[in-house]
Amino acid sequence: MHRRKVRVGIDVGGTFTDAALIDNETFEVIEKMKIPTTHHDPDGVAKGIVQILNRILSSKGIDPEDVVFIAHGTTQATNALLEGDVARVGIIGMGSGLDGLSARSESNPGDIELAPGKYLQTYHTYLDSKNLTDDQIEAAIDELIRQGAEVIVASEAYSVDDPANELRVIELAARKGVYATGGHEISQLYGLKTRTRTAVINASLIPKMMETANMTEKSVKDANISSQLMIMRCDGGVMSIDEVRKRPILTMLSGLAAGVAGALMYEKISDGIFFEVGGTSVDISVIKNGKVMIKNAEVGGHRTYLQSLDVRTLGIAGGSMIKVSGGRIADVGPRSAHIAGKEYEAFASADDIVSPGVRFISPRAGDPAEYAVCGCANGKEYAYTLAGAANILGYVPEGDYAKGNKEAALKAWEALAGAVGVSVEEAARQAMDIAIDKTMKTVNAMIDDYELDRSFVTLVGGGGSGAVLVPAMAEREGFKCRIANNAPYVSTIGVALAMVKEQLERTVVNPTEEDIKRIRADIVERIVKSGASEETVEVTIEIDSQKNILRAVATGSTELRSKDLAQEAMPVRQMQEIAASSIDQPAEATVLAAQTGRWSLFASESVKKSFFGLMKKKTSGVSVLDREGVVRFKKNNAHYKAVPKSDRGALNDFLDENTVYSDANATIPKVFVFYKEKMLDLTGMQTKEQLLSILDIETEMLLDEDEMLVVAYQ
């Protein structure tokens, strides 16, 4: 009998710990459940992980040895930073000669403000790294610990070129039984100030995360699961628990990354905005060309060298309460029913809403007493919420997690509508409009930041309250929208389906072929250590010539084969319509121009007449879709060519035709190459030689006759 192999995803949230069980072959969700998060147990949140793991496996009679992948996402690092629940950090700054003068101040960030009134405390000492002895290092460690440091950070000028001294500090601290980390372990970019700050934030999380990591790992082993436990990262990938022990900062914001990862696995989105709507807040992120957008995270208003999803959080959600001031509905949120300790009016029984009247409360000390609650003759009290408004207005579909009791909501809102002198529908509409206005400020900013085409954007609702906000917003603002499959569990599913991911950045001016080969080899070694199987690893190399950064991003999957969710390719006619819409052209003018591997390239040529029809201007649009019908590249004014790997002459000619020559220099085009399962982004390359050398490294496994689709634009 063929035993069913499963993947387990666990998402530890502030309120609930969720788990999902997924069939490893078909990716079908077999089971999902929630339990309250065990913050106050002696074993902490790890206890809840054990409980839910045992419960979900036994519910389907699954043996521990049939778990092939287990991962969890956690808000622990983020919450620790927000609440200032972090360790005190001692910094040993090092440098010599002229560099030593600036290194002394740049390696000393002082106390770092994490949130209003919450600080990460640091202590600092400085050593001249010329003729440095072990005795000097040990004395420095002892002095920092005497002052109160719980973790040590070693930070030396130019340690990214030679980390020997940082490694000595780490080794000597370890002998004393003290956790320590070095700036070079977190980032290989120059910039001692930002590198030190990022390393200090990382170090402040280590003791707490070590405790959790050890407990969680032990609990998974105690459950007889032999698969390695993976942890979600803030950029949407996962890493092994050993990596978490060294770099816990990468789990910051990982709860947010999981939701988008889950939505992308199921929802075939090319360009979209994803809303994970909970009870208290909404997390908003951008999907462009089928990928999630990433930026450098800030902590306490300071930039770090931590790449994370660009997620923006607002206090608007299903449980957001209605504020009344000056006799009218004035605001929605930021306080929620959950924070006020009230039940939602939309989930009451209509029989319990007896002679309702409106009262006003301040949910937290210092809040204005303007938050409306519905007081009933039987002594029961309910919060007026955005979920109530959405249910009254009919936006929440049958069977949805946020579907409430419309009759109860209407009865409760009659009292509120009376108090502000409008009809019930009008009161609900006013509340919804305020929520949409507040959210659209952020949505518009993100559309502008990532230059999205509004007519092609889809709004995707996830989380338990996705249907409360997203359909009404899409309707009013003219967007397409959908609610994600399994929306309340979308984060948990994202954790279970995640890929292993690693990133490496180095400061290199005009990288040579040797630099590129070296960073590529280093990232492959690093991602395999993190749990990816080597055959599945894909590497993207980016060169940022403005900032002199050479960056390698690697993704891979944890099993021996990477699976495609769609069993069969999308029909060409359907793809043609998606492609045409992505470049804003009629479908009949958009043709399938080339195909290779998982890629279909559609092209559209249009001739615009101007100046009384005398001048003709030809523009060409290119849209490349994967076999699931997701647009992975789209551009007007782009050129393409299908070339076999062996035809270097044709490739050279194509690049030359699309190069712009001026007196001073030659500007090569931005280039993407599609072949087999891979999309290769070469847009950061500065010279043709650089571009061709990377292409050679990346395609060395291709046969001479294998075809590549090359797309170029200026």
pLDDT at 560: 40
pLDDT at 442: 92
* DSSP 8-state assignment for residue 234: T
Q: Are 165 and 180 in contact (CB under 8 A)?
A: no
Identify the helix (H) or strand (E) that includes residue 321: strand 320-325
Q: Residue 224: pLDDT above 90?
A: no
Of 112-126, 433-447, 654-668, 682-696, which one has max mean pLDDT? 433-447
3-state helix vs strand vs coil in the chain, percent to 5: 35, 30, 30
Report helix, strand or coil for 52.
helix
- How many DSSP H helices and E strands does the chain contain? 19, 39
| Band (255; pLDDT cuts 50, 70, 90) | low
Mean pLDDT value across residues 393-413? 93
331 Rama sector, left if φ>0, alpha if ψ -120 to 50, beta otherwise: beta
Contact partners, residue 458, CB within 8 Å, separation at least 6 = 269, 271, 272, 273, 479, 480, 481, 482
Helix (H), strand (E), coil (C) string for 461-487: EECCCHHHHHHHHHHHHCCEEEECCCH
Which value, in Å, is the radius of gyration of the alpha carbons in the chain?
A: 28
Number of neighbouring beta carbons within 10 Å of residue 636: 15
* DSSP 8-state assignment for residue 25: T
Average pLDDT taken over every residue of the chain: 85
Token pair listed for 180: 């320590």
**Distances in Å between the alpha carbon of 149 and those of 157, 205, 238, 323?**
22, 13, 30, 45
Q: Is the peptide bond before 511 cis (omega within 30 degrees of 0)?
A: no
**Distances in Å between the alpha carbon of 294 and those of 37, 198, 260, 698?**
29, 17, 12, 23
Q: What is the pTM of this model?
A: 0.78
Q: Residue 220: pLDDT above 50?
A: yes
pLDDT at 567: 52
**Which of 71-80, 379-388, 508-517, 647-656 has the lowest average pLDDT?**
71-80
Mean pLDDT value across residues 514-527? 85
pLDDT at 679: 83
pLDDT at 288: 87
Mean pLDDT value across residues 578-594? 89
**Distances in Å between the alpha carbon of 72 and those of 7, 244, 525?**
11, 12, 23
Mean pLDDT value across residues 623-647? 89
Using CA atoms of 166, 168, 173, 175 in order, give the dihedral in degrees to the nearest 10.
160
Nearest to 578 by CA among 624, 547, 530: 624
Nearest to 273 by CA among 437, 451, 446, 473: 446
577 Rama sector, left if φ>0, alpha if ψ -120 to 50, beta otherwise: alpha
Q: Residue 387: pLDDT above 50?
A: yes
253/234 Cα distance (integer angstroms): 5
Number of neighbouring beta carbons within 10 Å of residue 508: 19
pLDDT tens digits, 352-363: 999 999 999 998
Q: Residue 561: pLDDT above 70?
A: no
pLDDT at 232: 81
- Matching residue, tokens 């030593």: 100
Q: Residue 327: pLDDT above 50?
A: yes
Q: Residue 446: pLDDT above 90?
A: yes
Of 151-165, 200-214, 280-294, which one has max mean pLDDT? 151-165
Q: Are 492 and 206 in contact (CB under 8 A)?
A: no
> Which ranges of 560-669 would DSSP assign to H, the alpha helix?
572-582, 648-657
Contact partners, residue 175, CB within 8 Å, separation at least 6 = none
Report helix, strand or coil for 102.
helix
Mean pLDDT value across residues 325-352? 90
φ and ψ at residue 117, rounded to 5 degrees: 80, 0
Number of neighbouring beta carbons within 10 Å of residue 49: 28
306/295 Cα distance (integer angstroms): 8
Q: Are 540 and 553 in contact (CB under 8 A)?
A: yes
pLDDT at 59: 92
Do strands 291-292 and 282-288 pair parallel, antiparallel, or not at all (unpaired)? antiparallel
Mean pLDDT value across residues 184-211? 86
pLDDT at 448: 94
pLDDT at 562: 44
pLDDT at 278: 84
pLDDT at 411: 93
| Band (577; pLDDT cuts 50, 70, 90) | very high
| Band (673; pLDDT cuts 50, 70, 90) | very high
**Distances in Å between the alpha carbon of 448 and those of 313, 442, 443, 445, 454?**
17, 10, 9, 5, 10
pLDDT at 563: 47
Q: Residue 260: pLDDT above 90?
A: no
The more confidently predicted of residues 371 and 570 is: 371
Token pair listed for 581: 């819409």
335/221 Cα distance (integer angstroms): 41
pLDDT tens digits, 486-503: 888 887 887 777 777 788
| Band (432; pLDDT cuts 50, 70, 90) | very high
pLDDT at 434: 96
pLDDT tens digits, 452-482: 989 889 999 998 899 999 999 999 999 999 9
Mean pLDDT value across residues 111-135? 89
| Band (275; pLDDT cuts 50, 70, 90) | very high
pLDDT at 2: 59
* DSSP 8-state assignment for residue 317: S
Q: Are 321 and 340 in contact (CB under 8 A)?
A: yes
Mean pLDDT value across residues 597-604? 90
CA 273 to the chain's CA centroid: 12
The more confidently predicted of residues 280 and 180 is: 180
pLDDT at 265: 67
